[in-house]
Copies of this chain bind each other. A is one copy, B any other.
Amino acid sequence: MSEVTLGRYLFERLHQLQVDTIFGLPGDFNLSLLDKVYEVPNMRWAGNANELNAAYAADGYSRIKGLACLVTTFGVGELSALNGVGGAYAEHVGLLHVVGVPSIASQAKQLLLHHTLGNGDFTVFHRMSNNISQTTAFLSDITSAPSEIDRCIREAYVYQRPVYVGLPANLVDLKVPADRLQTPIDLSLKRNDPEAQEEVVNNVLTLIQQASNPIILVDACASRHSCKKEVEKLVNLTQFPVFTTPMGKSAIAESHPRFGGVYVGSLSQDDVKKSVESADFVLSIGALLSDFNTGSFTYSYKTKNIVEFHSDYTKIRQATFPGVQMKEALQQLISEVSTHLNPNYVPVPVPSVNLPVTPASPDTILTQEYLWSKVSSWFQEGDIIVTETGTSAFGIVQSRFPNNTIGISQVLWGSIGFTVGATVGAAMAAQEIDPKKRVILFVGDGSLQLTVQEISTLCKWECNNTYLYVLNNDGYTIERLIHGMNATYNDIQPWNNLDILPLFNAKEYETLTVKTTGELDSLFKNKKFAIPNKIRMIEIMLPRMDAPSNLVAQAKLSEKVNLEN
């Protein structure tokens, strides 16, 4: 093959990066593009239930595989996806958003096509997406199109952000040189300025050498910008205690002997709070600060000796080093740190991670506290654990993840309903990596209603590696706690949730209800239940106002901020 169509070129490039599922919906400006998905061996078109769900699914897939592709149609399709794309932007998730747009001839003639605003403006949606994209391309010239596609894929991957590509319907079938595909897209990071990096590393080494009670605090961007190995090496070499934020959870193995727990400012476990806040040196890696990730900004370090490593800069105390990216800087730090440790440093013990389990008689009504303290015992190595904004995202903080677990939670963006879509993406990614990898969703009955139809996509692809725990507490409990405890606007229409899988024609499935501590205990002990061989929905009945204690505290802080003048 000396030439390929531009459409196929795009998908071959994605296939080279192990992006083998394409998310989205058909629409008449992308139909001929979708034909090309089927030309690439082992590539599949997910065919989601709506575009917002598709964006969520792409986000979930990217969090497992490092990059995802979403295809929508002009106007209606792309706008439906924007909240999902905004989430990927906020939370640093690599996402190529390809929009099938009208042909260049239609644009030139300003035809009043359907899916337009009826005013001949074909660039308005591109302008809107530009606000939440790392970069964009609106293709118009077949000669430069392949290099533009390469540039967009590179930026989505390297910066871990959404990138927008407008692809006119008439370009899809035009031919481009095939030999470009022989050269992989350059995905390497731009090198740091050597002098700046040298200065950073030397300053950090000096602080390390002076520290007698240092800690490492790991956050989401360490995962998203592929620095998990660097974090682990640094902990091994320094033996500093390591903590994560809620969003950073799973960035370091929680079985690591130096792992001390999850730090959430004033909402932390007492001993975690004490350990972090009494440190005389804090090495922060990949911070993605936000109210829910920091207990409403209640960080309270004793020390001013704080170093922040970010994907695009480093900060040492008050000095910012723009462009000094963490991955390379950490690698240099790792190569030099052993000879610069404080000889008097004695590794302090880390907080115990014994989870509080209150014993209960088996017919006790289940509570959030019991659920979240017990759930760790059921997790397995390699699990993907997805927790919805709400009681689940707060509850999971106190759980303990086994090795190689990946946690997915949209703590900063916090769009309710996100996890149902993200679970589809994660489950399809897991099918590609290892069909026995379990994908476990915890979602509230309120959030489930926003995106329920995406469970149909799980059924279509027979994602029999999924466990859908629906926490039924009769409405939007997180909102009740913030404001309007008994307001009817926080009520939802009650659904017969266990009828969802049969409605969607699931093939292999199981549905269960759990109401008591005894039922939960026996479920978690059931070995057959632990084997991922069907789609399972487990409805967990919980008292209406019951919530993890850290959520109750967060909600009070949030309402205060909302009403402040």
Closest to A505 in B: B494
The stretch from A181-189, A205-213, A345-353, A446-454 touching chain B is A446-454
CB distance from A429 to the nearest CB of B (A): 19
A76-B415, A453-B450, A505-B495 known; A29+B90 contact, CB < 8 A: no
Check: A426 CB closer than 8 A to any chain B CB.
no
CB distance from A133 to the nearest CB of B (A): 11
A492 and B47 form a contact (CB under 8 A): yes
Among the listed B26, B27, B75, B83, which residue makes an inter-chain contact with A76, where contact means beta carbons less than 8 Å apart?
B83
Among the listed B52, B82, B460, B503, which residue makes an inter-chain contact with A499, where contact means beta carbons less than 8 Å apart?
B503
B290 and A114 form a contact (CB under 8 A): yes
Q: B-contacting residues of A (Cβ < 8 Å)? A: 26-29, 31-32, 34-35, 37-38, 45, 47, 49-52, 75-76, 79-80, 82-83, 86-87, 89-91, 102-106, 111-118, 124, 127-128, 131-132, 169-170, 173, 288-292, 297, 389, 411-417, 449-453, 456-457, 459-460, 476, 479, 482-484, 487-496, 499-500, 502-505, 558-559, 561-565
A111 and B297 form a contact (CB under 8 A): yes
B106 and A90 form a contact (CB under 8 A): no
Which residues of B sit under 8 angstroms from A86, Cβ to Cβ?
75-76, 79, 117
B89 and A449 form a contact (CB under 8 A): no
B288 and A118 form a contact (CB under 8 A): yes
Closest 7 CB pairs of A and B: A31-B483, A79-B83, A76-B415, A460-B493, A50-B450, A114-B414, A80-B83
CB distance from A155 to the nearest CB of B (A): 17
CB distance from A112 to the nearest CB of B (A): 5
CB distance from A205 to the nearest CB of B (A): 30
Q: Residue among A52, A83, A459 with the most chain B CB within 10 A?
A: A83
B103 and A414 form a contact (CB under 8 A): no
A128-B131, A132-B117 known; A564+B489 contact, CB < 8 A: no
Q: Residue among A32, A79, A453 with the most chain B CB within 10 A?
A: A79
B476 and A26 form a contact (CB under 8 A): yes
Which residues of B sit under 8 angstroms from A459, Cβ to Cβ?
493
CB distance from A18 to the nearest CB of B (A): 21
CB distance from A345 to the nearest CB of B (A): 33
Which residues of B sit under 8 angstroms from A116, Cβ to Cβ?
90, 290, 412
Closest to A461 in B: B493
CB distance from A1 to the nearest CB of B (A): 22
B117 and A90 form a contact (CB under 8 A): yes
Which residues of B sit under 8 angstroms from A457, Cβ to Cβ?
493
Q: Residue among A50, A105, A496 with the most chain B CB within 10 A?
A: A50
A50 and B417 form a contact (CB under 8 A): yes
B34 and A113 form a contact (CB under 8 A): no
Which residues of B sit under 8 angstroms from A415, Cβ to Cβ?
76, 80, 115
* Further contacts, 12 of them, CB under 8 A, given A82-B83, A114-B412, A503-B503: A26-B479, A75-B413, A76-B413, A89-B117, A104-B565, A114-B389, A114-B413, A169-B562, A449-B453, A450-B453, A493-B504, A496-B502
B491 and A115 form a contact (CB under 8 A): no
Q: How far is the CA of A303 from the CA of B290 in the complex (A)?
A: 64
A564 and B106 form a contact (CB under 8 A): yes
A411 and B490 form a contact (CB under 8 A): no
Closest to A82 in B: B79
Q: How far is the CA of A289 from the CA of B110 in the complex (A)?
A: 12
CB distance from A173 to the nearest CB of B (A): 8
B416 and A563 form a contact (CB under 8 A): no
CB distance from A539 to the nearest CB of B (A): 13
A114-B291, A565-B105 known; A479+B83 contact, CB < 8 A: no
Q: Residue among A111, A124, A288 with the most chain B CB within 10 A?
A: A111
Which residues of B sit under 8 angstroms from A106, Cβ to Cβ?
561-562, 564
Which residues of B sit under 8 angstroms from A561, Cβ to Cβ?
102-103, 106, 111, 113
